[in-house]
């Protein structure tokens, strides 16, 4: 019987938007960056990893470029997996010279060092199951997920009007602000009616299969109509998920918040991630909505879940998968909305960065 060593540790993945964590690192430098040497020595400074940190954020804060983390990882044997660093680890930086590139050493602590020993690592042995590289199979209790984006053909989108003007002086509008709406039929709405404020994000979404799946829209707020004056209808913003801008569209209320339980995938539907909710982000993160190229016509239903898989040697196959290799589960997503040929899903778990084009399956492939 095979035996596997199991340990509990904090896993860190690159965030969808690293600006806020980087600012936090910068603000806390005085507390968490200790000078490892004094004048006249060559000892580098070090940074003690805090909960929530990633190499992406650390590279951005210290080296000035978040995209530098792959090189730091590749030229150092100390960081064996860029997705696994732990609170208490000390990242030692060598900024480099013209002849020697910058580098980072991962100090995990120990009797020969003065570093911090990670106390959260607990070891035990369990019997390993035979079969593919699986994870994320447990049921996750129901919780609220936010899915403000949707794919739709433009002629299928119901538009009531626009937000040409608003009361506040600023250009960015948010909750409790008054909006002045120009609606095609203002007589059709009464005080208390709820409408959504949304905008076009991407005109045409094309999947890796070269099929077109409509346009990407984003709901930015929900507003309640409170008054009509002439040609304008006044509405107050009840809830916003992003800044509102003059010129945004007005339409029917959209169900943005979804309460759903996440179960293990069942079935045999397979597809690909065709789009992300936030195209400005290069990588996808946990709790972010995604779109897959399978929908109602393929048997997809709300509440169904999918494994996100990849086949690659993480050291050699960085640009593309090697489909001859066995697939490994790297994440899970649950369906929250379904169209005829596509679906909206939320990434509920991931142990590394997820990208558009990755495969989603309900049943692990048994052969290439």
What is the tens place of the pLDDT at every residue in 293-334?
Answer: 999 999 999 999 999 999 999 889 888 889 899 999 999 999
Tell me, yes or no, whether 293 and 195 share the same domain: no
Contact 78, 68 (CB under 8 A): no
Mean pLDDT value across residues 110-115: 42
Say if residue 27 is exposed, middle or buried (CB neighbours under 10 Å; 0-12, 13-18, 19+): exposed
**DSSP H or E run through 34:** strand 33-34
Whether 196 has a pLDDT exceeding 70, the answer reads yes
Stretch among 123-132, 258-267, 348-357 having the lowest mean pLDDT: 123-132
CATH assignment at residue 279: 2.40.10
| Domain presence at residue 61 | yes
Chain position carrying tokens 């801008």: 245
Domain ends where: 255, 282, 306? 255
Tell me which residue of 69, 90, 63 sits closest to 81, measured CA to CA.
Answer: 69
Residue 335 has pLDDT above 90, yes or no: yes
Q: Which residues contact 167 (CB under 8 A, 6 or more apart)?
A: 177, 178, 179, 180
Q: How many separate domains does the chain show?
A: 3
Residue 276 lies in a domain: yes
Look-up of token digits 């804060």: 61
What is the extent of the structural domain holding 323? 259-361
In this prediction, residue 40 has a pLDDT band, given cuts at 50, 70 and 90, of very low
- Whether residues 263 and 251 fall in one domain: no
Is 181 in contact with 175 (CB distance < 8 Å)? no
Residues 99 and 193 both lie in one domain: no
What pLDDT is recorded for position 153? 92
* pLDDT at site 108: 53
Q: Would 205 be classed as within a structural domain?
A: yes
Q: Say if 142 falls within a structural domain.
A: no
Residues 249 and 272 both lie in one domain: no
Judge if 81 and 28 occupy the same domain.
Answer: yes
Q: What is the pLDDT of residue 9?
A: 33
Joined together, the tokens standing for residue 62 give 């210290």
Are residues 201 and 294 located together in one domain of the fold? no
Distance CA 315, CA 289 (A): 28
With the CA atoms of 86, 89, 90 and 95 taken in that order, what torsion angle do they form, in degrees rounded to the nearest 10?
-40
Mark whether 290 and 277 lie in a shared domain: yes
103 with 10, same domain: the answer is yes
What b/e sequence results for 310-341 when a residue is b if at least 16 CB atoms lie within 10 Å of its CB, and e otherwise?
Answer: bbbeeeeeeeebeeeeebbbbbbbbbbbbbeb
The predicted structure's pLDDT at residue 18: 36
133 lies in some domain: no
Sorted by sequence, the CB contacts under 8 Å of residue 218 that are 6+ apart come out as: 148, 149, 198, 199, 201, 242, 277
Q: Tell me whether residue 52 is in a domain.
A: yes
In three-state secondary structure terms, 21 is: helix
Is residue 26 in some structural domain? yes
**Domain assignment of residue 244, yes or no:** yes
Claim to verify: residue 97 and residue 31 sit in the same structural domain: yes
Q: Helix (H, G, I), strand (E, B), or coil: what is residue 237?
A: strand
């Amino acid at each position: 019987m095979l035996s596997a060593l199991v340990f509990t540790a904090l896993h860190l993945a690159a965030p969808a938007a690293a600006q806020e964590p980087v600012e936090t690192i910068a603000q806390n430098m005085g507390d968490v960056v200790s000078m490892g040497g004094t004048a006249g020595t060559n000892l580098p400074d070090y940074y003690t990893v805090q909960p929530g940190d990633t190499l992406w954020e650390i590279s951005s804060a210290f080296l000035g470029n978040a995209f530098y983390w792959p090189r730091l990882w590749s030229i150092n044997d100390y960081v064996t997996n860029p997705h696994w660093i732990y609170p208490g680890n000390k990242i030692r930086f060598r900024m480099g010279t013209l002849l020697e590139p910058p580098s980072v050493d991962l100090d995990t602590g120990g009797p020969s060092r003065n570093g911090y020993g990670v106390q959260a690592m607990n070891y035990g042995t369990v019997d390993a199951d035979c079969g593919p590289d699986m994870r994320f199979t447990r049921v996750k209790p129901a919780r609220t997920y936010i899915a403000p984006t949707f794919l739709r053909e433009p002629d299928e989108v119901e538009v009531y009007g626009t937000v040409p003007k608003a009361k506040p002086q600023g250009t960015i509008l948010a909750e409790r602000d008054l909006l002045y709406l120009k609606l095609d039929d203002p007589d059709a709405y009464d005080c208390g009616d709820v409408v959504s404020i949304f905008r076009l994000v991407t005109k045409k979404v094309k999947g890796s299969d070269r099929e077109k799946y409509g346009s990407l829209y984003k709901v930015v707020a929900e507003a309640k109509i409170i008054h009509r004056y002439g040609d304008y209808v006044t509405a107050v913003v009840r809830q916003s998920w992003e800044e509102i801008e003059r010129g945004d569209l007005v339409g029917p209320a959209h169900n943005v918040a979804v309460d759903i339980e996440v179960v293990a995938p069942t079935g045999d539907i397979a597809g690909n991630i065709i789009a992300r909710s936030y195209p400005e982000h290069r990588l996808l993160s946990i709790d972010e909505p995604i779109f897959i190229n399978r929908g109602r016509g393929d048997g997809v239903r709300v509440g169904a879940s999918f494994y996100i898989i990849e086949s690659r040697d993480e050291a050699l196959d960085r640009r593309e998968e090697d489909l001859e290799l066995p697939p490994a589960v790297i994440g899970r997503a649950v369906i929250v909305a379904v169209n005829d040929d596509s679906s909206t899903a939320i990434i509920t778990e991931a142990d590394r960065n997820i990208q558009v084009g990755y495969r989603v399956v309900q049943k692990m492939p048994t052969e290439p």
